[in-house]
Amino acid sequence: EVQLLESGGGLVQPGGSLRLSCAASGFTFSSYAMTWVRQAPGKGLEWVSPISGGGGYTYYADSVKGRFTISRDNSKNTLYLQMNSLRAEDTAIYYCAKGHSTSTNSYFDYWGQGTLVTVSS
Amino acid sequence: EIVLTQSPATLSLSPGERATLSCRASQSVSSYLAWYQQKPGQAPRLLIYDASNRATGIPARFSGSGSGTDFTLTISGLEPEDFAVYYCQQRGNWLTFGGGTKVEIK
């Protein structure tokens, strides 16, 4: 059974940093692209950053480019999102999602339960 | 960036009725379109991919159609558990999500 478990969310002040983690199990982690998708309170879905299975290819939404860094440790089956210079508009539930295929440009067939990031003073 | 416009924003129907949801792309995405269902407090769930393929475990009452710029998700007879928000997502030209359609009980 595929499981994705996010952690690391919380309350942070504007300008602060946070590191999210997503522990994966039930599939060959290194074979699939993974993506962080976020959802602001009461709003729709927004892709944040995908990463290829090997970790060599990463992409970022314009809204987070230069501030967020995605990475993965395939030996630990874990996905990360380092978030710096956080802004109020980054407040959202952050989901990690497994790619439906090996491509970073994919659908998402499994999602974690999400972790809430709140940026506020 | 491809913009996906979903309509209507809200669909009020009774259990057993047929639901028809629309997703229109600002330019062609071929058949690279998916549909997700999201219930309150839950993560999205993949229903349909590549416009018309049901994901694993998805009931046959869910069907998708379309190609190019116009797509439809049909729920042939609404069950109580189908009242939720539905999103479309394209991967034909990078990644974008639509704004969602809420299917509510009339």
Contact A60/B at CB under 8 A:
no
**Does the distance separating the beta carbons of B43 and A111 come in below 8 Å?**
yes
Decide which of B93 and A79 is more confident. Answer: A79
The 3-class secondary structure across B9-61, one letter per residue, is CEEEECCCCCEEEEEEECCCCCCCEEEEEECCCCCCEEEEECCCEECCCCCCC
Size of interface A-B (CB pairs under 8 A): 47
Check if the beta carbon of residue A81 is closer than 8 Å to that of residue A19. yes
**Does the distance separating the beta carbons of A113 and B44 come in below 8 Å?**
no
Q: How many other CB atoms are found less than 10 A from the CB of residue A100?
A: 19
State the 10-residue block means of pLDDT for chain B, 106 residues long. 96 97 97 97 97 97 98 97 98 93 96
Mind telling me how many Å the CA of A18 is from chain B's nearest CA?
21
pLDDT in tens, A11-51: 999 999 999 999 999 999 999 999 999 999 999 999 999 99
**Does the distance separating the beta carbons of A114 and B89 come in below 8 Å?**
no
Strands A3-7 and A18-25: antiparallel
**Does the distance separating the beta carbons of A111 and B91 come in below 8 Å?**
no
**What pLDDT, on a 0 to 100 scale, did the predictor assign at position B91?**
94
Contact A41/B at CB under 8 A:
no
Using 50, 70 and 90 to split pLDDT, how confident is the model at A103?
confident
Contact A32/B at CB under 8 A:
no
Check if the beta carbon of residue A50 is closer than 8 Å to that of residue A34. yes
Contact A57/B at CB under 8 A:
no
**Does the distance separating the beta carbons of B56 and A105 come in below 8 Å?**
no
Contact A105/B at CB under 8 A:
yes
| Chain-centroid distance, C-alpha A33 | 11
